[in-house]
Amino acid sequence: MYTNSAYLNNSLIDFMDKSKPLIVGSCGTYRLYTRPKLPTHRPKGRIDFQLLYVASGKTHFYFDGKEKDTVVTAGHMVIYRPKEPQRYVYYGSEQAEVYWVHFTGKNVRQLLKSYGITNEMRVLKTGTSLEFTNLFKRMIRELQRCQDHYEEMLSLLLRHLFIVIQRRLSTKQKLRNEYLDAEMEAAIQYFNDNYNKEISIEKYAAQRGMSVSWFIRNFRQYTDTTPMQYLVSLRIANAQMLLETTSCSVTEIGAIVGYDNPLYFSRLFKKQKGVSPSEYRKQGPRRDGMSNL
């Protein structure tokens, strides 16, 4: 299991503050690899708002006190309002990767409504996007580093996230029927399950009865990136995690994430991150400002 989080004033206690329009109280991420189960149960909820983004895999939410779960898959967000009971479970076997943020402020419900997130909304179908994960990661870094004006920056980043969500919700259906939607979800799940194996975009499209150009065009509409770029991002992100948390050699890590040629892996890593894998490791376990908790 990997977790990385940050809390305002290093306090885990939830709070309500109406002194400003928007205040980020905490944020973080979970990725389950080896831990079989991660449950959360808050019968009385919290006094702030919470937004969760399922970046990959699937999660299980139990709404309105029901014993029947609602399966929330990658490309969806869940929002909880103050004092709303919270119960959800992540399973390692389902490769859940979730980002979350808690926030409060003056008249937050009206603020959310202005971004198209109305009171009756609970599960938001936003699609997966690297822009979402990057915004969450930036919020985590800001709250961990606490540089000048970090609270204002956190508020701006959260508003940025709301704007991207609003654009996703308001845009006319990019994928206009359930078949197209299901195909893109299936592709994302397949890439997440098999990113460390040799994958041919052409063969995958052919196996699903799609032309390569059609598949790439619709995948890009759905994720804001091409299938190959999505695969590379998965591989490099997991390589980062292994460089930070294991003693495996660069060659071994390259092979683990799907690159048998260590030289090619190193060149690609440097192109993506600006430094070689070895340099990345030397710069510290969390060179991007985050820390393992």
In this structure, the answer to whether residues 163 and 219 fall within a common structural domain is no
In this structure, the answer to whether residues 210 and 163 fall within a common structural domain is no
In this structure, the answer to whether residues 18 and 34 fall within a common structural domain is yes
In this structure, the answer to whether residues 198 and 239 fall within a common structural domain is yes
Instruction: Report how many domains make up the chain.
Output: 2
Q: What is the mean pLDDT of residues 154-182?
A: 81
Q: What is the CATH number of the domain that holds 186?
A: 1.10.10.60
The residue out of 170, 200, 233 marking a domain boundary is 170
Per-residue pLDDT tens digits for 53-97: 999 889 999 999 899 999 999 999 999 999 999 999 999 888 889
Q: What is the mean pLDDT of residues 236-265?
A: 93
The CA-based angle 262-266-268, given to 5 degrees, is: 115
In this structure, the answer to whether residues 253 and 150 fall within a common structural domain is no
User: Tell me, what's the pLDDT at 171?
Assistant: 65
Q: Which domain holds residue 122?
A: 2-170
In this structure, the answer to whether residues 220 and 116 fall within a common structural domain is no
In this structure, the answer to whether residues 58 and 160 fall within a common structural domain is yes
In this structure, the answer to whether residues 210 and 125 fall within a common structural domain is no
Nearest in space to 241 (alpha carbons), one of 199, 203, 200, 277: 277
Between 46 and 174, name the one with better pLDDT.
46
User: Tell me, what's the pLDDT at 292?
Assistant: 34
In this structure, the answer to whether residues 191 and 164 fall within a common structural domain is no
- The neighbour count for residue 255, using CB atoms within 10 Å, is 16
| Cβ pair 151, 104 in contact under 8 A | no
- Rounded to the nearest integer, the mean pLDDT of the chain is 90
The residue out of 121, 138, 170 marking a domain boundary is 170
| Cβ pair 55, 10 in contact under 8 A | no
Q: What is the mean pLDDT of residues 264-269?
A: 94
In this structure, the answer to whether residues 250 and 271 fall within a common structural domain is yes
Q: Please report where in the chains the tokens 């779960």 appear, as a residue.
A: 69
Decide: pTM greater than 0.85.
Answer: no
Determine what percent of the chain is predicted with pLDDT higher than 70: 94
User: Tell me, what's the pLDDT at 127?
Assistant: 87
Between 3 and 258, name the one with better pLDDT.
258
Q: How far is residue 209's CA from residue 141's CA, in Å, rounded to a whole number?
A: 43
The residue out of 105, 138, 170 marking a domain boundary is 170
User: Tell me, what's the pLDDT at 264?
Assistant: 95
Q: What is the mean pLDDT of residues 178-203?
A: 89
In this structure, the answer to whether residues 266 and 158 fall within a common structural domain is no
In this structure, the answer to whether residues 50 and 133 fall within a common structural domain is yes
Nearest in space to 94 (alpha carbons), one of 142, 179, 138, 30: 30
Per-residue pLDDT tens digits for 94-113: 888 999 999 999 999 999 99
Q: Produce one character per residue of 210-241: b if its CB has 16 or more CB atoms within 10 Å, e if not.
A: beeeebbebbeebbbbebeebbbbbbbbbbbb
Q: What is the CATH number of the domain that holds 35?
A: 2.60.120.280
Q: What is the mean pLDDT of residues 244-262?
A: 93
Per-residue pLDDT tens digits for 186-196: 999 999 999 99
